[in-house]
Amino acid sequence: MSYPKIELDGALVAITGAARGIGLCTARAFVAAGARVALGDLDEALVVQAAAEFGEGAMGHALDVTDKDSYARFLDAAAEWHGGPLDVLVNNAGVMPNAPFLEQSDRIDRLTMDVNVYGVIHGMRLALPGMVERGYGHVVNVASLAGKFPLKGLAVYNASKFAVVGLSAATRLEMDGTGVSVSTVLPSAVRTELSSGIDVGILPTVEPEDIAAAVVRTVRSRAAETAVPSYAGVAANAATLLPESLIRLVRKAAHDDAAINRVDDKVRRVYLDRIEKQ
């Protein structure tokens, strides 16, 4: 499909969950491409400090993606500080609690859906109208291969990422003819705090810089979905076509129980304690 070209040199890019991990690496990649970047995060002190490393091309802002008013203030501040309008929005903020489904608390389930799903909904509902009015713009929603391939111990996380994949695909269709594109990036296991303490076994692992590079590439390609690594996306799609008995053998070999039975509880507790305080 053809979309109006977005030149990254001088473009305004807003990124959520940008104080660490994938979000911070993505901010660094966009700054390197010449973009002006607004970094949003719940941890205001950390995101301001993170943005400072990029100099005048970036600014850190307080952002609670579960609160639509907070999200609106973030986008308004980005436009005012960086001299909008917004060219690219990256919905990256996310949480990944792990536990057997019957042991997960209702409060953490709700947090997962609020951050991972409603955070994306809020961002698109706020950013897309202006993009449609101008006739150009790009939204990147960072989902997960867990949005295609369910794993034990991550049931509600899986549900949230399945939701993001479907939400992104349907919204992309609705944007046809407006000049605005919606892309989804689906990482495998990423070496960040999000998956800390979980031994993913033979499942493919990637660096946050790999995801950042994929996000930036979508501004040029406008691809509907980009899996990282790409072969894992092919495998996840193919899994839906194979007999369940065969897939169960593959799952066993791939340690699909990693989020339950292959966890360093001491390391993992640091991350879980942080999100449980949100």
The pLDDT assigned to 249 comes to 85
DSSP annotation of 102: G
Residue 202: the pLDDT is 65
Strand positions, DSSP E, 211-250: 225-228
Break the chain down into helix, strand, coil percent, rounded to 5: 55, 15, 30
Q: What is the pLDDT of residue 187?
A: 96
**Exposed e or buried b for every residue in 120-141, given b needs 16+ CB within 10 A?**
bbbbbebbbeebbeeebbbbbb
Regions of the chain short of the pLDDT cut 50: none
Q: Is 157 a catalytic residue?
A: yes
- Smallest CA-to-CA distance from 95 within 58, 42, 148 is with 42
Residues 258 and 198: beta-carbon distance below 8 Å: yes
Please name the residues in contact with 141: beta carbons below 8 A apart, sequence gap of 6 or more.
Answer: 91, 120, 124, 164, 167, 168, 182, 183, 184, 185
pLDDT digits (tens, 9 = 90+) for 142-181: 999 999 988 999 999 999 999 999 999 999 999 999 999 9
How far apart CA 14 and CA 146 sit, in angstroms, is 24
φ and ψ of 15, to 5 deg = -130, 130
Q: For 222-238, b where at least 16 C-beta lie within 10 A, e where not — what string?
A: beebbbbbeebbebbee
pLDDT at 25: 98
pLDDT (0 to 100) of residue 81 = 87
Predicted pLDDT at 82: 81
The C-alpha atoms of residue 40 and residue 81 are separated, in whole angstroms, by: 13
* Per-residue tokens: 22: 């994938």
3-state secondary structure of 33: coil
Q: Catalytic one among 3, 71, 157, 271?
A: 157
DSSP H/E element including 191: none
